[in-house]
Structure 1
Amino acid sequence: MARKKTQAYTEEFRREAVNRASKEGITTAQVAKELGVSAQQIYNWRRQFTRLSDKQFNTVDGVDYSKQESEETRRLRRENKKLKEELEFLKKAAAYFANDQK
């Protein structure tokens, strides 16, 4: 028996489905019927969205909450701090040698 090919929905589509199903006056089943997905799928997306899992819904309002992105941010902050310290040292050294030449 052939497996049914699953539809890959964009994060934006999933987010919109969850938001629409969360509004008063409309049920999840109604939204699911309008969008051609199962109500259970919307419930799954809502749960994933709430958890901000590693595989889906990693961004909220343009902020990436994935583990990989967080590690990269921490690494860049450490590197930035080190570079600022080196820059301060070089400024002081340049000022010292500038005064020494006078």
Structure 2
Amino acid sequence: MARKKTQAYTEEFRREAVKRAEKEGNTTASVAKELGVSAQQIYNWRRQFNRLSDKQFNSVAGVDYSKQESEEVRKLKRENKRLQEELAFLKKAAAYFANQSE
């Protein structure tokens, strides 16, 4: 059985889908069909928007989970690891040269 690939939708897309579904004259089912998503997904997004703050897709309890923030955190972790390795090397080199001068 083939596994269905899930698609990540941008926050802007999700907000627009919820707005369109809430417009008078539109139904959630019609907007879902038009956008190619399930009506249940729009209901879920609406519930999330109503339950959490404005930036609910980006932050929860003050922690930023946006894609840009996550990429920056990963980049900083890589840089931190590289700097720790350089520091360890420099400590060994300093110890070596300190022994040489004695």
In the superposition, the TM-score normalised over structure 2's length comes to 0.54
Q: Deviations over 1:31-61 (max 9, x none)?
A: 11110111111011100111117xxx526xx
Percent identity over the alignment is: 76
5 Å-filtered alignment, 1:18-97, equals: 18-52=18-52, 57-58=55-56, 66-69=60-63
> 1:3 deviation in Å?
1.5
What is the match of residue 4 of structure 1? 4
Contact residue 17 and residue 42 of structure 2 kept, 8 A: yes
In structure 1, runs of 5+ residues without a counterpart are 71-102
Moved segments of 4+, more than 3 Å: none
In structure 2, runs of 5+ residues without a counterpart are 65-102
> 1:66 deviation in Å?
2.8
> 1:2 deviation in Å?
2.9
Look up the equivalent residue of 2:56 and give its one-letter code: N
Q: Indicate the SS of the match to 1:43.
A: helix
Number of matched pairs: 63
